[in-house]
Amino acid sequence: MAPTALLQSLAAAAVPYDIRRHDPARHARHLAAIWGIPLPEAGRATLFDAGGAPVLVLVPADRKVSAPRLRSVLGVTDLRVLRGDRGVGRTGWRGLPGEPGVLPAVPRLYGARCLVEELVLNRERLVVSLEAGRSVALLPADYVRVVGAATARFAGGTRLLPEGGMITEVTLVGREGFEPP
């Protein structure tokens, strides 16, 4: 019911969106490929237990969550992944709806508050999973507004590449004479 409620909220807010049915996506990178979009336009949702409260966080699909940054933003010391793309093994899916695959970015589905990485707002659109085999594209700011999300910086410096693999982005602020390896 939560995905339907999200779509009803989008319609009630007169938010333009595009919905697609497709084979179930295995992970956010696969969702981007299904839509034929750049990797950062797909959202990677992860469900965390943050000090005993569920929090659904969303980053661009080419990023990972930085646990230390997220702990700081949330003001908690205890942070555990409950569920992410393809689940965290089968244990991470126990008692939760759906088969392992891309995690639906529907906070209400988990009774969670939502936190969106600010980098998501730099894109022209955001594609997120609603449920296995159904996803939606909309403006990032509309997603934030309709789900009642907060925004913050909590992505790590690792950037995933569309073809596979990753790179680490090095920030060289105030380090005279530093040369990357």
Report pLDDT digits (tens) over 74-116. Answer: 999 999 998 887 644 444 555 665 566 889 999 999 999 999 9
Reported pTM: 0.85
Express as a percent the part of the chain with pLDDT over 70.
85
Q: What is the pLDDT of residues 15-54, one digit of tens each?
A: 999 999 999 898 888 899 999 999 999 999 999 999 999 9
DSSP labels for 9-38?
HHHHTT--EEEEE-SPPSSHHHHHHHHT--
> In this structure, what are the phi and psi dihedrals at residue 142, rounded to the nearest 5 degrees?
-65, -40
E-assigned strand segments in 51-149? 53-60, 63-65, 79-83, 113-117, 126-131, 134-138
pLDDT for 38: 95
Alpha-carbon distance of 177 to 149, in angstroms, equals 41
Q: Residue 170 is encoded by which pair of tokens?
A: 């090095």
Instruction: Yes or no: say if 65 and 154 are a contact pair by the CB < 8 Å rule.
Output: yes
Of the pLDDT bands very low, low, confident and very high (cuts 50, 70, 90), residue 174 is: very low
Candidates 122, 148, 48; CA nearest to 88 is 48
Give the three-class secondary structure for 136. strand
Candidates 88, 87, 47; CA nearest to 70 is 47
Alpha helix (H) residue ranges in the chain: 2-12, 28-35, 67-74, 107-110, 140-147
Instruction: Yes or no: say if 139 and 126 are a contact pair by the CB < 8 Å rule.
Output: yes
